[in-house]
């Protein structure tokens, strides 16, 4: 396997960043610094990045999890809060989350040991739409919907066009579906806050065409080879 792909699959950096790491002399194979691009790495080779050994997984596993509220999407937490990895009881591989969902957001979270796939999906350039269903306070007028759809300033950053549809307007709150392809920190919450509506519940229901369907909260399933192929090509 090409060195930059190996580094990406180990979850260290994108392929482009991996090339930079190599060019800057941060990468060693079997104790020797390599600076040439396009070197091949074999099964037995020991690769180090910044002095730390790395390993690309041999067998890739990608799952979808219906993350409940009250779980964090990192691999460790100083505060001892529940982590999404605690929910993966019968998976031996070390899977890491593809992007983040807030502690209080529920819904579709992909987890994988294929760092290359994760990097690709997280990059806004790939324009993979994520669909969220939100319950927001108050009334969501068509003017507000238009502002959200066009792009809105969420504090020094103007969001890209989004697709927004009000599913139900109640007396005190509205159910809205919103599709965005960026993943700024707390982006959906900030977008609604920018038009004066507070997000009360937030759930991710799809990533691209991949929908969570009837997967129960706290449950997960492996993706089919077809679904993995779709993500690789999206």
**Which residues carry out catalysis?**
102
Q: Which of these ranges, 16-24, 75-83, 101-109, 139-147, lies near ligand URA under the rule CB under 6 A? A: 101-109
- Binding status of residue 187 toward ligand URA by CB under 6 A: yes
Question: How many CA atoms are closer than 13 Å to the CA of 79, on its beta-carbon side?
Answer: 8
Q: Find the shortest distance in angstroms from Cβ 49 to ligand URA.
A: 29
d(CA 119, CA 84): 19
Q: Which of these ranges, 40-48, 52-60, 160-168, 184-192, lies near ligand URA under the rule CB under 6 A? A: 184-192
- Binding status of residue 66 toward ligand URA by CB under 6 A: no
Crossing angle (nearest 10°) for helices 115-122 and 225-233: 50
Question: What is the number of helices (H) and of strands (E) in the chain?
Answer: 6, 13
- Binding status of residue 231 toward ligand URA by CB under 6 A: no
Q: Which of these ranges, 28-36, 120-128, 146-154, 185-193, lies near ligand URA under the rule CB under 6 A? A: 185-193
Between 148 and 188, CB nearer to ligand URA: 188
**Alpha-carbon Rg for the chain in angstroms:** 20
Q: Is residue 188 a contact partner of residue 132, using CB atoms and an 8 Å limit?
A: yes
Q: Find the shortest distance in angstroms from Cβ 200 to ligand URA.
A: 12
Q: Which of 105, 112, 113, 131 binds ligand URA (CB under 6 A)?
A: 105
- Burial of residue 141 (CB within 10 Å: 0-12, 13-18, 19+) is middle
User: CA-based angle 184:188:189, to the nearest 5?
Assistant: 105
Q: Find the shortest distance in angstroms from Cβ 72 to ligand URA.
A: 11
**Considering only CA atoms, which of 232, 107, 114, 125 is closest in space to residue 183?**
125
Name 66's bridge partners.
108
Q: Which of these ranges, 32-40, 53-61, 187-195, 210-218, lies near ligand URA under the rule CB under 6 A? A: 187-195
Q: Find the shortest distance in angstroms from Cβ 45 to ligand URA.
A: 38
Q: Which of 12, 27, 29, 202 binds ligand URA (CB under 6 A)?
A: 202
d(CA 30, CA 34): 10
Q: Which of 3, 22, 101, 206 binds ligand URA (CB under 6 A)?
A: 101
Give residues in contact with ligand URA (CB under 6 A).
101-102, 105, 186-189, 202
């Amino acid at each position: 396997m090409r060195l930059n792909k190996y580094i990406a699959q180990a979850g260290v950096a994108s392929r482009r960043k991996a090339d930079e790491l190599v060019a800057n002399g941060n990468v060693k194979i079997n104790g020797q610094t390599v600076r040439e691009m396009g070197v091949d790495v074999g099964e037995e080779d020991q690769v180090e990045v910044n002095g730390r050994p790395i390993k690309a997984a041999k067998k890739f596993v990608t799952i979808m999890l219906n993350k409940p509220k009250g779980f964090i999407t990192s691999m460790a937490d100083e505060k001892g809060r529940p982590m999404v990895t605690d929910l993966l009881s019968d998976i031996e591989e070390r899977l890491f989350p593809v992007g983040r969902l807030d502690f209080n957001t529920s819904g579709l979270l992909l987890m994988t040991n294929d760092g290359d796939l994760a990097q690709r999906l997280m990059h806004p350039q790939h324009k993979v739409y994520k669909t969220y269903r939100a319950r927001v306070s108050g009334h969501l007028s068509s003017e507000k919907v238009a502002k959200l759809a066009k792009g809105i300033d969420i504090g020094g950053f103007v969001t890209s066009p989004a697709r927004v549809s009000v599913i139900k307007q109640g007396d005190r709150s509205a159910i809205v579906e919103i599709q965005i392809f960026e993943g700024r920190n707390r982006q959906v919450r900030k977008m609604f806050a920018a038009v004066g509506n507070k997000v009360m519940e937030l759930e991710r229901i799809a990533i691209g065409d991949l929908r969570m369907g009837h997967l129960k909260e706290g449950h997960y399933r492996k993706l089919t080879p077809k679904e993995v192929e779709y993500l690789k090509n999206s």
